């Protein structure tokens, strides 16, 4: 079987009203950061609500390869025994990070200040994604780091360099780039400042503060200097990006009423709620509180009539991962939805603009694409076959589309769904969806 590839397709046969209470898996972004910061902190960190998915396990395995001990107490609970800022050990070989862009970019910053050499590699999809945006500013900090001439993996980092803090104005809004530079700043002499062109998710800043790190923030500038981190327990909230698929599913499926528990509603992540509410979605927040430095709330969503809108460009950077699901809502809304300023979607796990356009057109929806977005004419989804391009978010988005399509929808190549949302199909079935999973091996 070593020379074969597993193919997983979903056959979606519609759904009646979606009803019930759901616990969505833990936030992937926060789970990554909990592992990394706990690993270089002084003391042991207990993490609950951890997302046990392929991407986060890639981060865990990389840290374990560098001598970090992680005790598993169950699929969503673990203890990380920190080794301190300078306690990581040289790995025996290259660190393979699968399909996880977060892992490779954040670890690039974390490893730039170590005393040993490292090589970061990934699967075919990750190996096509842009890495120069991280490599170049790290070089400005005096890191000895390089990628391929094409700006892709593998990344090679030569250790033993003394990093120097810089003030860096990011050319694109990217939480991964910002986080990589802040992590490198923990190892640099002087201050490291990052200036954002637009607000991006701030989980790294919040968690650094949770671990006792002093950070200065003003307007769009974040600054820190080298300092120790002290372990503190972390409760990971449920992932709003994962919850979005259920928000959209309930919003477009007549008679639905879903209650999603303990969802992370960080202000730099909840643009999706603003966008869906602007489209007319019936979404309300309950039991709002702060857990481990992160805002958390229960979210109730009921079906309703959606209207197409021009999505404000100011919200695009902080909803970038949610657009596959949002554009399914657009396809079910009356009128036109316009998305612009989203060129970043073209360099995700797939070219998501093209993948979404092709899939929507295959289901009878009129779409016009541009370099940085698309126009979607709302209508009635037909049955059909959609290629997910092995992109987990594209696969889940069109699975949701199949709930309201006029005929069965086959979503091809869904093997990577467990990358970000293990248990996705089980939860859909739990609230009343008819989905068949078809698995085959191809030589």
CA distance 171 to 181: 14
**304-340 core/surface letters (b: 16 or more CB in 10 A; e: else):** bebbbbebeeebbbbbbbbbbbbbbbbbbbeebbebb
Count of CB atoms situated within 10 Å of the CB of 440: 10
What number of residues does the chain have?
443
Q: Which of 77, 76, 125, 67 is nearest to 100 (CA)?
A: 125
Neighbours of 5 (CB within 10 A): 11
Q: Do 179 and 195 contact (CB within 8 A), yes or no?
A: no
Distance CA 187, CA 182 (A): 9
- The angle at the Cα of 18, spanning 387 to 77, to the nearest 5 degrees, equals 80
Q: To which H or E segment does residue 349 belong?
A: none
Do residues 55 and 31 make contact, with C-beta atoms less than 8 angstroms apart?
no
The CB-side HSE value for 42 (13 A sphere, CA atoms) comes to 6
* Contact between residue 251 and residue 282 where contact means Cβ atoms under 8 Å apart: yes
User: ω into residue 154 within 30 of 0, thus cis?
Assistant: yes
What are the beta bridge partners of residue 335? none
Gyration radius of the chain over CA positions:
21
H runs (alpha helix) in 170-320? 175-185, 203-210, 240-252, 271-278
**Active-site choice (321, 387, 391, 413):** 321
Beta-strand relationship, 118-121 and 77-81? unpaired
26 beta partners: 238
CA distance 87 to 57: 21
Catalytic (active site) residue 9: no
| Token digits of residue 81 | 């025994």
Distance CA 192, CA 223 (A): 5
Tell me how crowded residue 257 is: count the other CB atoms within 10 A of its CB: 15
User: Is the Cβ–Cβ distance between 399 and 220 less than 8 Å?
Assistant: no
Query: Could you tell me which residues are beta bridge partners of residue 439?
Result: 8
Active site residues: 321
């Amino acid at each position: 079987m070593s020379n074969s590839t597993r193919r997983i397709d979903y056959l979606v046969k519609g759904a009646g009203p979606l009803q019930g209470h759901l616990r969505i898996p833990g936030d992937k972004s926060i789970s990554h950061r909990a592992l990394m910061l706990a690993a270089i902190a002084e003391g042991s960190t207990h993490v609950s609500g951890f997302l046990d998915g392929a991407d986060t396990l890639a981060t865990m395995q990389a840290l374990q390869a560098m001598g970090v001990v992680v005790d598993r107490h169950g699929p969503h609970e673990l203890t990380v025994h920190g080794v301190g800022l300078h306690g990581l050990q040289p790995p025996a070989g290259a660190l393979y990070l699968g399909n996880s862009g977060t892992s490779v970019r954040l670890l690039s910053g974390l490893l730039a200040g170590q005393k040993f050499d490292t090589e970061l590699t990934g699967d075919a999809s990750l190996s096509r994604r842009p890495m120069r945006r991280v490599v170049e500013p790290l070089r400005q900090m005096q890191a000895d780091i390089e990628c391929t001439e094409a700006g892709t993996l593998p990344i090679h980092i030569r250790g033993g360099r003394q990093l120097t803090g810089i003030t860096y104005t990011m050319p694109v809004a990217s939480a991964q780039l910002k986080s990589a530079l802040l992590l490198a700043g923990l190892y640099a002499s002087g201050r490291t400042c990052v200036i954002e062109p637009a607000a991006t998710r701030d989980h790294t800043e919040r968690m650094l503060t949770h671990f006792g790190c002093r950070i200065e923030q003003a307007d769009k500038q974040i600054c820190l200097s080298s300092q120790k981190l002290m372990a503190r327990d972390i409760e990971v909230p449920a992932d709003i990006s994962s919850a979005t698929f259920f928000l959209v599913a309930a919003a477009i499926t007549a008679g639905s009423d879903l209650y999603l528990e303990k969802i992370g509603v960080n202000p730099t992540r909840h643009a999706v709620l603003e966008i869906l509410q602007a489209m007319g979605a019936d979404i309300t927040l309950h039991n709002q509180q702060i857990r481990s430095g992160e805002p958390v709330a229960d979210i109730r969503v009921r079906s309703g009539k959606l209207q197409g809108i021009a999505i404000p460009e100011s919200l695009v950077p902080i909803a970038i991962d949610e657009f596959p699901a949002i554009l399914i809502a657009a396809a079910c809304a009356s009128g036109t939805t316009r998305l612009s300023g989203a060129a970043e979607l073209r360099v995700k796990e797939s070219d998501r603009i093209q993948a979404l356009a092709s899939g929507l057109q295959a289901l009878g929806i009129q779409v016009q694409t541009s370099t940085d977005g698309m126009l979607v004419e709302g209508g009635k989804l037909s049955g059909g076959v959609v290629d997910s391009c092995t992109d987990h978010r594209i696969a889940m988005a069109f699975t949701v589309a199949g709930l309201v399509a006029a005929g069965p929808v086959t979503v091809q190549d869904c093997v990577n769904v467990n990358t970000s949302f293990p248990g996705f199909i089980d939860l859909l079935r739990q609230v009343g969806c008819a989905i068949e999973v078809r698995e085959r091996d191809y030589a």
